[in-house]
Structure 1
Amino acid sequence: MNALKYTFLSCVQTVLVFSFRPAYGQDIAIKNDKVSRTLRYLDSVWLTVSVSRADGSDRLEMQSEEFHILGMDDHTLTAKDFRVEGTPVAEHRGDTNMLTIRYGRRHDRHYTNDDPATVEVCYTALKGDEVIRKKVILQFDALAVVDRLEVERFVARAKESGGGRGEPVFINDKWFTGLEYPAGYSRHTDGNTPKAYSRHYEMVGNYSFIDLEERDIEPQGVAGMVRLMHFPGYAKEGAQDKYYIESKISVMGIGKPSDNAESGFMDYLATIWKAPRSFLHYNNWFEPRAKDLKGDALIDIFRAFRSAVAPYGIKMDAMVADNGWQDHESIWQPTPKYFPNGIADMKLLSEKLKQEGTGFGLWLSIGGTNAGVPWGEKHGYLPAKPNSYFARYFRYYSLSHPKYKEEMLRQVPSLAKEAGLVYFKHDFNQLSDLNDNAGHPPTDRHGHETNLDAMLEILMATRKVNPAIYQNITNWVWFSPWWLMYADALWMLAGDDGLNGNWPEISSRAMATTDRDTYIWRMWGDTADRPLVPISRLMTHGIIRTSTGRMESKDDTVQDWLEYVLMHYARGTLLKEWYISPEVMSPEHWKALCTVHNWAAANEKYLDHTVFVGGRPDEGNPYGYIGWNGNKAILVVRNPGVATSTLRIPFDQSVKYHVQKTKRYHAKVIFPYRDEYPKTFISGQPMVIEIPGYATMAFEISEGKAGKPAAGNLPEIKDIVKTDSSITMSLPADAGARCDLQVIAYDALPGLAVNGQPLIPSRTSRSAINAFAGYAISGMPSKTARSWKMAVYDLSAMAGKNITISFDPAIPADTEIHLLMERKVIQKYSLTVPLNTLWAITPDRRRQTIQLR
Structure 2
Amino acid sequence: MLNYHQLKRPLIATVFLLLGYSAKSQQITLKNDLIQRTFSYQGKVWRTIKFSNGDGSRVLNVTSEEFNILPLDGNKTLSVADFTSLGKPRFYKHGDTTFLEIKYKPLSAARANSACPELLVVNHFVAKGDRVIRKKIRMLFSEQATVDRLEVERFVAKGDQQGGGRGEPVFVDHSWFFGLEYPGGYSRCRNGNFPASFSRYYDKVGNYSFIDLEGRDIEPDSLNGLIRLMHFPGYALPHQQQFELNSKVSVVGVSSPQQDVRQAFMQYLSTIWKAPRSFLNYNNWFDQKAKNLKGDNFVEVYKQYKNILDPYGIKIDAMVPDDGWQDRKGIWNPSPAFFPQGDTDLELLSQKLKKEGTGFGLWLSLNSYNNNIDWGLKNGYREAGRNAYFKQYGRYYSLSATKYRDEILKRIPELAKKANLVYFKHDFNELCDLSEGNNHPATDRHGHEANLDVALQVLVATKKVKPEIFQNLTNWIWFSPWWLQYADYLWMLAGDDGINGNTPEISTKAMFSTDRDTYIWRLYGNPADQPLVPISRLMTHGILQTSPADKEIPLQDWMDYVLMHYGRGTLLKEWYISLDAMTTEQWKTLSSVHSWAKQHEAALNNVRFVGGRPDEGNAYGYIGWEKNKGVFVARNTGPAAQKLVIPFNEAMGFYGAKGTYKANVVYPYQDLYPATFKSGENIEIEIPGYSTMAFEFEQGTSSADKTPERNIDFSTTKVSAQTLKTVLTIPANVKRRCDLLLIGYPQIPDISINGKTLPFSRQTKALLNNFASYAISGMPSTKAADWKMAAIDLSAYAGQTVEIVYSQKGKFESHLLYEKNVEQKSSWLLKTELLPLTNDTRRGVIQLY
Residue 236 (structure 2) pairs with residue 220 (structure 1): no
1:567 alignment partner AA:
M
Secondary structure of 1:564's aligned partner: helix
Counterpart Cα distance in 2 of 1:88 and 1:22: 12
Residue of 673, 676, 681 corresponding to 2:672: 676
CA distance in 1, matches of 2:260, 2:661: 23
Aligned ranges for residues 433-444 of structure 1 at < 5 Å?
A: 433-444=433-444
Cα distance change of structure 1 residues 8 and 258 upon mapping to structure 2, 3 Å threshold: farther
Task: Please name the residue that 2:815 is paired with.
Answer: 818
Name the CA shift for 1:319/1:5 in 2 (closer, same or farther; >3 Å). Answer: farther
Instruction: Return the offset for 1:196.
Output: 0.4
TM-score (norm 1): 0.96
SS at match of 1:758: coil
Displacement of 1:106 in angstroms is: 2.4
Aligned to 1:485: 485
Alpha-carbon displacement from aligned partner over 1:109-153 (angstroms, at most 9, x marks no partner): 543443100111101111111100000111111111000000000
Q: More deviation in 651-660 or 278-287?
A: 651-660
Paired residue for 2:712, among 701, 709, 717?
717
Partner of 1:103: 104
Name which of structure 1's ranges 751-760 and 190-199 shifts more when overlaid on structure 2. 751-760
Q: CA deviation at 1:722?
A: 3.8
Alignment of 1:133 onto 2:134: yes
The match for 2:187 is 186
Q: Is the 8 A contact 2:627 2:657 kept in 1?
A: no
Where do residues 357-436 of structure 1 align in structure 2 (5 Å cutoff)? Answer: 357-436=357-436
Picking from 675, 692, 695, the partner of 1:696 is: 692
CA distances 1:409-443 after superposition (whole Å, capped 9, x unpaired): 11101110111111000000011111110100000
Which residue matches 1:849? 845
Give the partner amino acid of 2:803. Answer: T
- Give secondary structure in 1 for the equivalent of 2:339: coil
Q: C-alpha separation between the residues in 1 aligned to 2:8 and 2:660?
A: 49
| Contact kept? 2:2, 2:94, Cα under 8 Å | no
Q: Deviation digits for residues 540-562 of structure 1, max 9, x if unmatched?
A: 0000111365xx5x753111010
* Aligned pairs for 1:493-532 within 5 A: 493-532=493-532
Q: Tell me if 1:649 matches 2:660.
A: no
**2:13·2:93 contact (CA, 8 Å) conserved in 1?**
no
Moved more, 109-118 or 410-419: 109-118
Tell me how large the CA RMSD over aligned residues is. Answer: 1.8
Q: Give unpaired runs (5+ residues) of structure 2.
A: none
Alignment partner of 2:383: what SS?
Answer: coil
Name the aligned partner's letter for residue 695 of structure 2: F
Distance 2:109 2:288 in 1: 72
Single out whichever of 637-646 and 401-410 deviates more from structure 2.
637-646
Report the alpha carbon displacement of residue 704 of structure 1 after superposing the two structures with TM: 2.2
Q: Which residue of 2 aligns with 1:763?
A: 762
Change (3 A) 1:6 1:111: closer
- Counterparts of 1:679 and 1:105 in 2: how far apart (Å)? 69
- Kept in 1: contact 2:15–2:93 (CA 8 A): no
Taking the aligned partners of 1:660 and 1:281, their CA distance within structure 2 comes to: 36
The alpha-carbon deviation at position 226 of structure 1 amounts to 0.3
Residues 4, 431 of structure 1: CA spacing in aligned structure 2 closer, same or farther, 3 A cutoff?
same
SS at match of 2:327: coil
* One-letter amino acid matched to 1:690: E
Task: Output the CA distance in 1 between the equivalents of 2:676 and 2:780.
Answer: 38
Secondary structure of 1:399's counterpart equals: coil
**Residue deviations 1:593-614 (CA, integer Å, cap 9, x gap):** 0000000001001000001000
**Counterpart of 1:371 in 2: which secondary structure?**
coil
Distance 2:296 2:63 in 1: 67
Aligned match of 2:748: 749
Q: Give per-residue Cα distances to partners, 1:629-681, cap 9 Å, x unaligned.
A: 122210011000111111111222221123466x3222110100000111122
Q: Is the 8 A contact 1:489 1:538 kept in 2?
A: yes
Equivalent residue number for residue 42 of structure 2: 42
**How far, CA to CA, are the matches of 1:395 and 1:721 in structure 2?**
61
Partner of 1:340: 340
Distance 2:235 2:735 in 1: 74
Cα separation, partners in 2 of 1:454 and 1:548, compared to 1, 3 Å: farther
Residues 719/75 of structure 1: CA separation in 2 closer, same or farther (3 Å cut): closer
Kept after mapping to 1: 8 A contact 2:132/2:253:
yes
Distance 1:102 1:9 in 2: 13
What is the CA-CA distance between 1:721 and the residue it aligns to?
Answer: 5.4
Q: Distance in 2 between matches of 1:593 and 1:50?
A: 55
Distance 1:9 1:22 in 2: 29
Query: In the alignment, is the contact (CA less than 8 A) between 1:332 and 1:371 conserved in 2?
Result: no
Question: Which secondary structure state, in structure 2, belongs to the residue aligned with residue 815 of structure 1?
Answer: strand
TM superposition shift of 1:19:
7.6
Aligned to 2:791: 792
Q: 1:841 to 1:94 in 2, by over 3 A?
A: same
In 2: Cα distance, 1:282 partner to 1:423 partner = 11
Q: Using the alignment, how far apart are the partners of 1:110 and 1:352 within structure 2? A: 64
Is the counterpart of residue 464 in structure 1 residue 475 in structure 2? no
Hey, what does 2:605 align to over in structure 1? 608
Cα drift, residue 372 of structure 1: 1.4
What is the rounded CA distance, in whole Å, between the counterparts of 2:679 and 2:825 in structure 1? Answer: 32
User: 1:748-767 CA distances to partner (integer Å, 9 max, x unpaired)?
Assistant: 21111111111211000000
CA distance in 2, matches of 1:756, 1:285: 50
Residue 627, structure 1, aligned to residue 628, structure 2 = no
Give matches, 1:226-305, under 5 Å: 226-239=227-240, 241-305=241-305
Per the TM alignment, residue 257 of structure 1 is displaced from its structure 2 partner at its CA by 1.4
SS for the counterpart of 1:677 is strand
Q: What secondary structure does 1:421 align onto?
A: coil
**TM-score by structure 2 length?**
0.97
SS at match of 1:347: helix
Query: 1:349 corresponds to which residue?
Result: 349
Change over 3 Å in CA distance of 1:19–1:841 after alignment to 2: closer
* 1:757 alignment partner, SS class: coil
Q: Indicate conservation of the 8 Å contact 2:545/2:576, yes or no.
A: yes
Name the amino acid aligned to 1:703: Q
The match for 2:732 is 733
Amino acid at match of 1:302: Y
Partner of 2:147: 146
Contact 2:135 2:250 in 1 (8 A): yes
| SS of aligned partner of 1:565 | helix
* CA drift at 1:737: 2.1
1:307 is displaced (CA, Å) by 0.8
User: What is the alpha-carbon distance in structure 2 between the residues aligned to residue 18 and residue 447 of structure 1?
Assistant: 43
CA deviation after TM superposition for structure 1 residue 6, in Å: 6.5
Percent identical pairs in the alignment equals: 52
Asked if residue 639 in structure 1 is aligned to residue 636 in structure 2, the reply is yes
| 1:158 corresponding residue in structure 2 | 159
**Structure 1 unpaired stretches of 5+:** none
Letter in 1 for 2:57: S
Q: 1: CA distance between counterparts of 2:687 and 2:718?
A: 29
Q: Is the Cα contact below 8 Å between 2:71 and 2:113 reproduced in 1? A: no
For 1:692 and 1:381, the matched residues in 2 are separated by 59
Deviation at 1:463?
0.6
Residues 598/365 of structure 1: CA separation in 2 closer, same or farther (3 Å cut): same
Task: Give 1:465 shift.
Answer: 0.7
User: Contact 2:628–2:657 (CA<8 Å) still a contact in 1?
Assistant: no
Q: Which moved more, 1:618-627 or 1:99-108?
A: 99-108
Contact 2:671-2:828 within 8 A present in 1 as well: no
**In terms of mean alpha carbon deviation, does 50-59 or 437-446 score higher?**
50-59
Query: Relative to 1, partners in 2 of residues 1:796 and 1:831: Cα closer, same or farther, differing over 3 Å?
Result: farther
Counterpart residue number, 2:834: 838
Q: Does 1:779 align with 2:778?
A: yes
Give the AA of the match of 1:85. Answer: L
| Structure 2 counterpart of 1:591 | 588
Q: Secondary structure at the match of 1:316?
A: coil
- CA distance in structure 2 between the aligned counterparts of 1:23 and 1:196, rounded to whole angstroms: 44
- Give the residue type in structure 1 aligned to 2:710: P
User: SS at 2:495's partner residue?
Assistant: coil
**1:811 CA drift (Å):** 4.1
